[in-house]
Amino acid sequence: DTGVSQDPRHKITKRGQNVTFRCDPISEHNRLYWYRQTLGQGPEFLTYFQNEAQLEKSRLLSDRFSAERPKGSFSTLEIQRTEQGDSAMYLCASSSLSRGRDTGELFFGEGSRLTVL
Amino acid sequence: AQSVTQLDSHVSVSEGTPVLLRCNYSSSYSPSLFWYVQHPNKGLQLLLKYTSAATLVKGINGFEAEFKKSETSFHLTKPSAHMSDAAEYFCVVSLFRGGSYIPTFGRGTSLIVHP
């Protein structure tokens, strides 16, 4: 296992279309995070999972956004009826527990860049 | 309100001179603190982390940071900048929200290194 992988790396779509991103975390990591990063800004938290449970969602995650992690392994982030403001880099990260505590260190994928025309 | 603030959007230094990237946080407890680096078209990489052990933390590539609780700061330093240090640097604080500790990013500081 070489790290967190994300697919696709780039997606260009027309406004109103649906898109889905996939993230495969490091295999032994039970926590998975989604962030969004726009140009010149730091990554903004969207949501996170511990195993298959979605434990926290940001207010940034409107009802057009949905994330799943059905078996506690890979995760998907779907955006319905995309808008131009959704154009961003979508980052996935995973982390693990050490002696029952989250080490806090995030391992990031290289991101999925979305462009909405 | 809990927050993380990177005081400079850009820092420009000459190669061989010291680097200082500033980060302050606001939290009602002692959080875990991190610095990440993002090189152009590359993924985010952990530089160093503070998790309530030694207040002076050493990281990769000669970087270090000092946790100062009284000043609620976690500034990143390096004695001598190298051209390869040019990148975007993010201070990250695990802030408690909704029952979970969420790694929360500052807006980033772009480090520019001149020859």
The DSSP output letter for B61 is G
B3 forms beta bridges with B26
Contact of B96 with chain A, judged by CB distance below 8 Å, is answered with: no
Locate the chain A residue with the closest alpha carbon to B44. Answer: A108
Minimal Cβ distance to A104: which of B42, B43, B94: B94
Locate the chain B residue with the closest alpha carbon to A105. Answer: B46
User: What is the number of alpha carbons within 13 Å of residue A96 lying toward its C-beta?
Assistant: 10
Beta strand pairing status for B56-58 and B64-68? antiparallel
Cα dist. B88→A90, A111, B37, B91 in Å?
A: 17, 16, 6, 10
Contact of B25 with chain A, judged by CB distance below 8 Å, is answered with: no
Tokens standing for residue A56: 């926290």
| pLDDT one digit per residue (tens) for chain B, 115 residues | 778 999 999 999 999 999 999 999 998 777 889 999 999 878 899 999 987 778 899 999 999 999 998 899 999 999 999 999 999 999 999 887 777 788 999 999 999 999 9
Contact of A49 with chain B, judged by CB distance below 8 Å, is answered with: no
The DSSP output letter for B36 is E
B14 forms beta bridges with B114
pLDDT means per 10 residues, chain A with 117 residues, are: 89 97 93 93 93 88 93 94 96 79 80 97
The DSSP output letter for B72 is T
- Secondary structure of chain A in HEC code, one letter for each residue: CCCCEEECCEEEECCCCCEEEEEECCCCCCEEEEEEECCCCCCEEEEEEECCEEEEECCCCCCCEEEECCCCCCEEEEECCCCHHHCEEEEEEEECEECCEECCCCEECCCEEEEEC
Q: Tell me, what's the pLDDT at B67? A: 92
Which H helix or E strand runs over B38?
Answer: strand B33-38
Contact of A25 with chain B, judged by CB distance below 8 Å, is answered with: no
Q: How far is residue B109's CA from residue B37's CA, in Å, rounded to a whole number?
A: 10
Residue range A55-88, pLDDT digits in tens: 888 988 889 999 999 988 999 999 999 999 999 9
Q: Tell me, what's the pLDDT at B40? A: 86
Q: Tell me, what's the pLDDT at B100? A: 79
Asked if A110 and B43 come within 8 Å (Cβ–Cβ), the reply is: yes
Q: Tell me, what's the pLDDT at A23? A: 97
Tokens standing for residue A114: 């979305």
Contact of B105 with chain A, judged by CB distance below 8 Å, is answered with: yes
Locate the chain A residue with the closest alpha carbon to B91. Answer: A42
Contact of B58 with chain A, judged by CB distance below 8 Å, is answered with: no
